[in-house]
Amino acid sequence: RSVLRYGRVVGKRKTLIFHLGKSGEGGRTNWVMYEQVISVDTQLDGVVRDSYVLCKIFEKSGLGPQNGEQYGA
């Protein structure tokens, strides 16, 4: 997902779920990683010249919903 500031993309945000084994074959774990990439200096050609990545890794209290589902469904 894109992060916008004043209508301009300044970074990206990803949520990654850890699995045991391969992602479609293995089981989901309670471990999640949030990755946020902040572009500091983007040139007109769209190539990022400088950026920072911030990751937060934590264990959730439960598995949560599967892809496409909502909490409480």
Q: Average pLDDT by consecutive 10-residue portion of the chain (73 residues)?
A: 85 88 78 86 61 88 60 44
Give me the half-sphere count of Cα atoms (radius 13 Å) on the Cβ side of residue 57.
4
- What is the domain count for the chain? 1
* The pLDDT of residue 8: 83
Cβ neighbours for 49, distance < 8 A, ≥ 6 positions apart: 40, 41, 42, 43
Q: What is the CATH number of the domain that holds 15?
A: 2.170.150.80
* The pLDDT of residue 35: 93
Q: Which domain holds residue 45?
A: 2-59
List, in sequence order, every residue forming a beta bridge with 41; answer none if it has no partner: 50
Residue 65 in domain = no
* The pLDDT of residue 69: 56
* The pLDDT of residue 72: 44
Residue 66 in domain = no
* The pLDDT of residue 46: 63
* The pLDDT of residue 62: 63
* The pLDDT of residue 73: 39
Residue 72 in domain = no
